[in-house]
Copies of this chain bind each other. A is one copy, B any other.
C-alpha cells in the first residue's frame, strides 16, 4: 500500500481531478487492450508539462514506480501496472493542449494526450492527415513512445519519420524538461537526441509534446483484393506493383485463409467479396492513393489499378488467380475485422513478428509444418504488412490454454523467428511486460548493456 501522504502531495501538484485513487475509477487504467489486467496504487493525470515534471520528480525522489499510459491501446502490457498494487499510473488523458496546425509548414504541434482520431479530424479541413494508420485509436504520446507503424508503413514509415520535434520530461531527480520541439525538418547542428525517446516506451523520458510533419490527405483511392497464384508469386507481385505504381502504393496487406474465414464468420455486417463465397488460401489487400482529385484528361486511379492488375494476368505463368477491385471501405473492413474475428473464434496467442520480407513465405511454410506436428490444435491465422516484413502471426486455440502451454508455443515460434531467420519478436508492439522475457533471452548482451548505459546517462542528467 502506498503511503497516503504521497497521494496528498501528488494531489497538490495536479489538483483534485488529477488524482484518482477510487478503485472503481481506476479500473479502466488498470486494464490493457489484450488480456492484461493489473492493480494501480493510484492514477495521476497531469494537465501540463510542468505538472508532468513535478510528478516525475516527486516519484523519482520517493522511489514510486510510475507507468506512463497514453491511449492504453498497446498490446504488450506496456501501459498498465502489474498486479502488485505498488505502481502508479501516469495518464496523459488530460494533457490535450496544444493542438496547433501550421499549414505553410505542413506541421502540427500537438500534446501527448491528443488522440489520433481527434488530430485527424482537426487536420482534415486543411487537407492534411497524420498518415500512421492502425486499427486502434491511440494518443500521440504513446504513438511516439512505441514508434507505431501500421498498415501504411510501406508508403509513410513509422512515427519516427513523422516526428520533427519533441518535448520530453526526463526520468531524473528533477523531472528535467528537455525542449527539442523546434520542428525544423533538417538540423545537423547537434546530436539528434529526440531519437532516444522514440520507440523507448517512456523509459528514457516521457513525451509531453510533439511537432509532427503532416501529409496531404488522399483525394483518390483505389483498392483491390488480389489472390496470388501461389506463395512464390507474392514477392513477385510486390516487386511488380512497386515498379508499376511505386509512388501510389500505400498498402500491401496479406491475409491468410484462416484469418479471413474467422472475420467473415464472426464479425457482423462483413460482406464476403469472393466468387461463390470461396475464401482463397491467401489474399492481399492493395491500396493506391493520390493526393489530388480526378482531373480531365487523366486516367482515374481505379482504372489505373485495373490496368496494372490486368497486365499481370498476361504473364506466363500468371501471378494472380483473381483480382477484385472493390469499394475501399468494404475491403478494408475485412482487414480491420481480422483481430476481432480471431478473438471471437478462440483464444489468441498473438505474435507481432518482423522478418526480411523475402523470407516470409519460407518462414510461414516451415513454422506451419512445425506447429502442425507439435500443436495440431492451433489454427494459424496470420496476416500482416508483408511489404515491410511485418506479420501478425496469430494462433487461435479452441479452448483456454494455460500459461505453460502458451510459453511452449511461444518458445517454438520465436526460436525459429530469431535464431533461424534473424527476425524480431516484436516488430511493432514494443517490449512491455509481455515481451520482457524475450528481450532478456534474445537481445544480444551488448545491446542490452549499451541500452541500459545510455538510459542511465539520460536518467541522471539533471542531478
* Interface, chain A (partner B; CB < 8 A): 102-106, 127, 146-147, 149, 153, 157-158, 160-161, 176, 178-180, 182-193, 195-196, 198-200, 204, 215-216, 235, 239, 242-248, 290-292, 295, 297-299, 304, 307, 354-358, 385, 388-390, 422-431, 435, 438-439, 442-444, 446-451, 453-458, 460-461
Contacts and interface: CB of A to CB of B under 8 A. Distances in A.
Contacts of A456: 457
17 contacts: A105-B357, A161-B161, A183-B356, A184-B424, A187-B424, A188-B424, A188-B427, A188-B428, A189-B424, A190-B443, A191-B204, A192-B195, A216-B243, A244-B292, A297-B299, A446-B461, A454-B454
Contacts of A426: 187-189
Given A189-B438, A189-B443, A191-B200, A461 B453 contact: yes
Contact of A186 (B216, B247, B390): B390
Contacts of A178: 446-447, 450
Contacts of A198: 192
A216 B243 CA distance: 7
A176 B127 CA distance: 49
B216 A149 contact: no
A-B pairs, 8 with minimum CB distance: A246-B291, A104-B358, A195-B195, A189-B426, A457-B457, A247-B247, A191-B451, A186-B427
Most buried by B among A187, A307, A451, A461: A187
A290 B389 CA distance: 25
A185 B354 CA distance: 8
Given A245-B292, A453-B458, A458-B454, A188 B146 contact: yes
A423 B390 CA distance: 37
A357 B213 CA distance: 12
Interface-centre pick from A184, A216, A298, A354 (highest chain B CB count, 10 A): A184
Given A178-B450, A191-B451, A244-B292, A184 B423 contact: yes
A319 to B, nearest CB: 14
B189 A439 contact: yes
Contact of A451 (B190, B297, B427, B450): B190
Contacts of A102: 356, 358
A286 to B, nearest CB: 15
A104 B357 contact: yes
A106 B354 contact: no
Contacts of A189: 424-427, 430-431, 435, 438-439, 442-443
Contacts of A188: 146-147, 149, 199, 424, 426-431
Contacts of A429: 188
A457 B453 contact: yes
Contacts of A355: 184
A192 to B, nearest CB: 6
Given A216-B242, A243-B292, 10 more contacts: A105-B358, A146-B188, A161-B161, A180-B447, A184-B355, A188-B427, A189-B435, A191-B454, A192-B199, A247-B248
A190 B423 contact: no
Contacts of A450: 178, 193, 457-458, 461
Given A104-B357, A247-B248, A446-B461, A431 B185 contact: no
A196 B147 CA distance: 16
A435 B199 CA distance: 31
A442 to B, nearest CB: 7
A358 B176 CA distance: 31
A443 B188 CA distance: 11
Given A243-B127, A422-B182, A447 B358 contact: no
Contacts of A442: 189
Contacts of A246: 215-216, 290-292
A127 B215 CA distance: 27
A421 to B, nearest CB: 10
A102 B356 CA distance: 10
A180 B292 CA distance: 39
Contacts of A291: 242-247
A182 B357 CA distance: 12
Contact of A184 (B204, B356, B457): B356
